[in-house]
Amino acid sequence: MCEATTYTVGDSSGWDISTDLDTWANGKAFNVGDVLSFQYPSSDSVEEVSKDSYNNCSTTNALQTFSNGNTTVPLTRPGPWYFISGNRLYCLGGMKLQSYGNIDGHSEMTRLFANIL
For residue 79, what is the domain's CATH number?
Answer: 2.60.40.420
Strand 113-114: give its sheet, edge to edge: 64-66, 46-48, 79-85, 96-101, 113-114
pTM tops 0.85 = no
Could you say which DSSP state residue 17 is in? T
Task: Classify residue 1: in a domain, yes or no.
Answer: no
What was the pLDDT predicted at 113?
Answer: 45
What was the pLDDT predicted at 110?
Answer: 36
Task: Classify residue 36: in a domain, yes or no.
Answer: yes
* Residue 94, phi-psi category: left (phi > 0), alpha (psi -120 to 50), beta (remainder): left
Residue-wise pLDDT for 6-64, tens only, equals 999 999 999 999 998 878 877 888 889 999 999 999 899 999 999 999 999 999 999 99
> For residue 106, what pLDDT band results from cuts at 50, 70 and 90?
very low
Task: Classify residue 20: in a domain, yes or no.
Answer: yes
**Residue-range definition of the domain harbouring residue 80:** 6-114
* Bridge pairing between strands 70-74 and 64-66: unpaired
Q: Domains in the chain: how many in total? A: 1
pLDDT at 109 over 60: no
Task: Classify residue 39: in a domain, yes or no.
Answer: yes
Each residue of 59-81: b (16+ CB within 10 Å) or e? beebeeebeebebebebeeeeeb
Task: Classify residue 33: in a domain, yes or no.
Answer: yes
Task: Classify residue 64: in a domain, yes or no.
Answer: yes
Task: Classify residue 63: in a domain, yes or no.
Answer: yes
Among residues 37, 26, 21, which one has the least CA distance to residue 115? 21
